[in-house]
A and B are shown apart, each in its own frame.
Chain A
Amino acid sequence: MKMNGADIMMECLVREGVDTIFGYPGGAIMPVHDAMLKYPVHHVLTRHEQGAAHAADGYARASGKVGVAVATSGPGATNLVTGIVTAMMDSVPMVCITGQVPAHLIGGDAFQETDVTGVTLPVTKHNYLITSADEIATVVREAFHIARSGRPGPVLIDFCKNAQLDEIEFEYPEDISLPGYSPPDHAPMGDVNKAVELIEAAERPVILAGHGVQMSGAMEELRIFATQTNTPVAMTLLGLGAIPASDSLSLGMMGMHGEACANEAIQNADLILAFGMRFDDRVTGVLSKYAPNAKKIHIEVDPTEVHKNVAVDVPLMGDLKTVLTDMIPLLDEYDHPEWIGQIAEWKAETEERSIMSWQDDGKLYSAHAIRAMWTATEGDALVVTGVGQHQMWAAQYYEFEKPYRLLTSGGAGTMGYGLPAALGAWFSDKEKDVWLIDGDGSFQMTQAELSTMMQEGANVKIVLLNNSYLGMVRQWQELFFDERYAATPITGPDFIKLADAHGIPAKRVTKPEEAMEALEFAKNTPGTVLIEFQVEKEELVYPMVPAGAALNEMLRRPVKGKK
């Protein structure tokens, strides 16, 4: 059957299981939007292409499926780039389709022409330029396969307008051939055996659970491994939920704003088991002092991550779930009573310094709002955040009991991620209880997406922690720039009126005792609701590992009269 390229594109997307597309139309992509009308696909018109990319990212993280964003050429495509970088850094499967000027005009600086494959080359897992209609089906099949397999990531397809309009005989390729693409699955058994020897000899082991645990679906294998070997588990920001926060082996989050018990455990360990994580600088502190006495085992699907930041003793390149499944039968049960005792002491000390243990001083802290939200949602919400102090407090005080419950920009640290990502997450499953925890700075970066939420009748509960500062930068200014608050005071709009203008019910909270009622209101009111918490303006995120310090050389949270 003869079809034009845009129809072929849509046919192929539908065959990949796509039913929701986030995007923005424009001259060079018009045939694709036109073709969407013929297919069972819902197009969500975001108010900026960055929002489309973040929404596709949120959709993908929440569903495990590949998110799809569509934009036109030139500025439409470049507006996607921040969202692509965000997905790349956090290994999120995404396919972005951008319009491009007709092939014969490429290189001539035509209207809205940008070298988009050139621009996105270093920030995509792979990208394609389609100049003729007969390439479309193969490219789309390859793009989805690459986006979702191995270490997932964003793939961009730049789609020339002539290829969208040309009519050809459509043939769906049964197979694809990617001779240079074979992500590792099993690690060599010789290496697995070496790892087992190290595990048997360890007296103070710690597991570092990264995003890879959930990406690979290895939560059960992690639980078995940790329980059987009696090994405590520290998590990265994106690893939260890998094991329940309430599990006795959980150490919570590690790193720059990680719990002291996690960082102490890492620095004092004699064996580190890194599961699907990449030793980012935000989790290691200064590398020269990192885990000085530990042997290191690294299970990682992306070979470029092995030995990149931290040299390891046994690298196991493969899919985490597969490698753990190979390894677990080779392990006995191990016990480390002294180590577990020491860990329990650190955990108790950490608990004492929690904001939640502070005496009630009538002030509204962000942690209060987040913990109240935890109670209101029974710890089962899908939490989306922006980037900044509120993000760290969300990680610290919303105790994640289940996997796939936290959507946050980790590697890229993209402010403005929250609102569009929450919208995307809601589209992945409209029954999901999606809550956005955002700061006033982060929120204002992409607040135009409130209009999208209104148009789509979305149901996202927004917890806005407003301290009228770009709080994380202000924190650094207070600590390291002699309290010179350059460019960090930020005046927002009246957020209640802003919500009202979008038909969104909203409430303002200024005292701790008002929190629960407002959150219950949000929970029980259908559709999107915004609750603004006017929190303490000059709060700091603790603990904090300053730049250049070892992981356990933390600025600790002050103890303020116990409850």
Chain B
Amino acid sequence: MQNTIVALVEDKPGVLNRVASLFRRRNFNIKSLNVGNSEKPGISRMTIVVDDSVNASQVEANLYKLVNIIDVQDVTDQPAVIRELALIKVSVTPEKRNEISSLADIFRTNVVDVSQDSMTIEIVGTEKKIAGFVELLRPFGILEMVRTGNIAMMRGDMAGKRYMPGKNGEKEQKEYSALSF
């Protein structure tokens, strides 16, 4: 099992280093970490997956303490959409090409590159779906693979769990959208 944490962070130099350094120092084992733009200019969004030897509220508290981190939500076991993208380059012989293509279709993936003796497939899905697909491809010979790590978003207008009290002791979502950047 694992915990999935979403953090909104100021897009400043060194912020990724602060997060990575914090996880190292507190001995939180990162399974994956994804960082990219959010809907707001100046704010990046991180999705961090840690193994469940780490208490999610401790992770949140420590992230919350970093000055450049604006909001932290725990989306583990919450109604969230959690997805990952993987590129898988698989070894192909002419006689196997159709078989692999039909597997790719069943998993609703995209073949993004084909060469004489390889095929690169792009798959988007949950970790489980990707793992299942990888197992099916393995007998053909996987030459290379890259995965983005999970990204996560809560469904509808719901928010993930927050453990830290805000101003006046309220555990409300911080109005980061109202802040000027």
Interface residues of A (CB under 8 A from B): 117-118, 121-122, 125-126, 129, 146, 177-182, 184-189, 191, 302-304, 306-308, 317-318
B81 to chain A, nearest CB (A): 25
Most chain-B Cβ atoms within 10 A of its Cβ — which of A117, A180, A308? A180
In the complex the two chains form, is B165's CB within 8 Å of A304's CB?
Answer: no
Q: List B contacts of A304 (CB < 8 A).
A: 58, 61-62, 65
Q: Are A186 and B67 in contact (CB under 8 A)?
A: no
Verify if B111 is at the interface (C-beta below 8 Å from A).
Answer: no
Which residues on A sit within 8 Å (CB–CB) of B22? 122
> What CA separation (Å) do A125 and B18 show in the bound complex?
11
Among A178, A302, A303, max chain B CB count under 10 A is at A303
Q: Which residues of A contact B165 (CB under 8 A)?
A: 184, 186-188, 317-318
CB distance from B60 to the nearest CB of A (A): 8
What is the distance, in angstroms, from B73's C-beta to the closest C-beta of chain A? 14
Interface residues of B in 1-56 (CB under 8 A from A): 9-10, 14, 17-18, 21-22, 25, 55
Cross-interface CB contact of B179 among A126, A179, A303, cutoff 8 Å = A179
Interface status of B126 (Cβ within 8 A of chain A): no
> Chain B nearest CB: distance from A78 CB in Å?
17
Q: Which of A118, A181, A303 contacts B67 (CB 8 A)?
A: A181
- Are A186 and B10 in touch, CB under 8 angstroms? no
- Residue pair B58, A307 in contact (C-beta under 8 Å): yes
Q: Give the segment of B90-98, B117-125, B127-135, B169-177 that binds chain A.
A: B169-177
Q: How far is the CA of A224 from the CA of B164 in the complex (A)?
A: 28
Cα separation A302 to B58 with both chains bound (whole Å): 11
- Which B residues are in CB contact (< 8 Å) with A186? 165, 168-169
B87 within 8 A of A: no
Closest-by-CB residue of A relative to B55 is A307
Q: Are A121 and B21 in contact (CB under 8 A)?
A: yes
- Name the residue of chain A whose CB is nearest to the CB of B43: A179
Q: Please tell me if the beta carbons of B18 and A121 are within 8 angstroms of each other in the complex.
A: yes
In chain B, positions 63-116 with a C-beta closer than 8 Å to chain A are 64-71
A303-B25 in contact given A189-B169, A318-B165 (Cβ < 8 Å): no
- How many angstroms from the CA of A304 to the CA of B64 in the assembled complex? 9
> Are B62's CB and A121's CB within 8 A?
no
A306 partner, pick from B61, B69, B171, B174, beta carbons under 8 A: B61
Q: Is the CB of B66 within 8 A of A180?
A: yes
Give the chain A neighbours of B61 by CB distance below 8 A. Answer: 303-304, 306
The contact of A307 among B18, B21, B57, B169, by CB within 8 Å, is B57
For A191, what are the chain B residues with a Cβ–Cβ distance below 8 Å?
169
Residues of B near A182 (CB, < 8 A) are 166-167, 174
Question: Range of interface residues on chain B?
Answer: 20 to 34
Contact indicator B9/A185 (Cβ below 8 Å) = no
Q: Assuming the A-B contacts A121-B17, A121-B21, A304-B61, are A180 and B167 also in contact, with contact meaning beta carbons closer than 8 angstroms in the complex?
A: no
Query: Contact: A117 with B14, CB < 8 Å?
Result: yes
Q: With A121-B18, A122-B25, A179-B10 in contact, is A303–B64 under 8 Å at CB?
A: yes
A122-B25, A308-B58 given; A180·B69 CB < 8 A: yes
Cα-based distance from A179 to B69 in the complex (angstroms)? 8
A296 to chain B, nearest CB (A): 16
Kindly list chain A residues whose C-beta atoms are within 8 Å of the C-beta of B67: 125-126, 146, 178, 180-181
In the assembled complex, how far is the CB of residue B74 from the closest CB belonging to chain A, in whole angstroms?
13
Q: Give the CA-CA distance A308 to B27 in the complex, in Å.
A: 13
Report the nearest A residue to B17, measured CB to CB: A121
The residue of chain B having its C-beta at the shortest distance from the C-beta of A191 within the complex is B169
Give the A-B contact count at a CB cut-off of 8 A: 70
**How far apart sit A290 and B18, CA to CA, in the bound complex (Å)?**
34
Instruction: Name the A residues within 8 Å of B57 (CB-CB).
Output: 307
B169 close to A318 (CB less than 8 A): yes
Given the complex of chains A and B, what is the CA–CA distance between A176 and B57 in angstroms? 29
Chain A proximity of B38: nearest CB distance (Å): 13
Report yes or no: A177 in contact with B179, Cβ–Cβ below 8 A: yes
Minimum Cβ distance to chain B for residue A346 (Å):
35
Taken together as a complex, chains A and B put the C-alpha atoms of A297 and B22 apart, in Å, by 27
User: In the complex, given contacts A121-B18, A180-B9, what are 6 additional A-B residue pairs having Cβ atoms less than 8 angstroms apart?
Assistant: A121-B21, A177-B180, A179-B70, A180-B69, A187-B169, A304-B65
Contacts of B179 in A (CB 8 A): 177, 179
Contact A184 B169 (CB under 8 A): yes
B55 partner residues in chain A, CB cutoff 8 A: 307
In order of increasing CB-CB distance, the 9 nearest A-B pairs are A303-B61, A188-B169, A186-B169, A180-B70, A304-B61, A179-B179, A126-B67, A180-B69, A181-B67
Q: Say how far A306's CB is from chain B's closest CB, in angstroms.
A: 7
Q: Is the CB of B18 within 8 A of A179?
A: no
Q: Are A180 and B68 in contact (CB under 8 A)?
A: yes
Q: A146-B67, A307-B55 are in contact. Are A179 and B176 (CB under 8 A)?
A: yes
Given known A-B contacts A180-B69, A304-B58, A317 and B167 have beta carbons under 8 A apart: no
Distance A438 CA – B169 CA, assembled complex (angstroms): 43
A178, B167: Cα distance in complex, Å: 14
- Determine the chain A residues whose CB is within 8 A of the CB of B163 once the complex forms: 303
Q: Are B65 and A303 in contact (CB under 8 A)?
A: yes
Kindly provide the distance from the CB of A140 to the nearest chain B CB, expressed in whole angstroms: 15
A302 in contact with B65 (CB, 8 Å): yes
Contact B58 A184 (CB under 8 A): no
A131 to chain B, nearest CB (A): 10
Chain A to chain B contacts (Cβ below 8 Å), 7 pairs: A179-B70, A180-B67, A184-B164, A303-B65, A307-B57, A317-B164, A318-B165
Scoring A129, A179, A191 by chain B CB atoms within 10 A of each residue's CB, the highest score goes to A179
| B138–chain A nearest beta-carbon distance, Å | 41
Instruction: With both chains docked as a complex, state the minimum distance between the C-beta of A151 and any C-beta of chain B, in angstroms.
Output: 9
What is the CA–CA distance of A118 and B13 in the complex, to the nearest angstrom?
12
Which of chain B's residues 146-181 have a Cβ closer than 8 Å to chain A?
A: 163-171, 174, 176, 179-180
Quote the shortest CB–CB distance from B175 to chain A (angstroms): 9
Q: How far is the CA of A318 from the CA of B165 in the complex (A)?
A: 8
Contact residues in A for B69 (Cβ distance below 8 Å): 180
Of the candidates B10, B167, B171, which one forms a contact with A185 in the assembled complex, judged by CB atoms under 8 Å apart? B167
Measured between C-beta atoms, what is the minimum distance from A555 to chain B in Å?
32
Query: Hey, which chain A residues are within 8 Å of B25, CB to CB?
Result: 122
Chain B residues near A178 (CB-CB < 8 A): 67
Taking CB atoms, residues of chain B closer than 8 Å to A179 are 10, 70, 174, 176, 179
A117-B14, A303-B64 known; A184 vs B166 contact (CB < 8 Å): yes
Provide the residues of chain A in CB contact with B62, threshold 8 Å: 304
Q: How far is the CA of A122 from the CA of B23 in the complex (A)?
A: 11
Q: In whole Å, how far is A183's beta carbon from the nearest beta carbon of chain B?
A: 9
Considering the chains assembled together, what is the distance between the CA atoms of A182 and B170 in angstroms? 12
Residues in B with CB closer than 8 Å to A121 are 17-18, 21
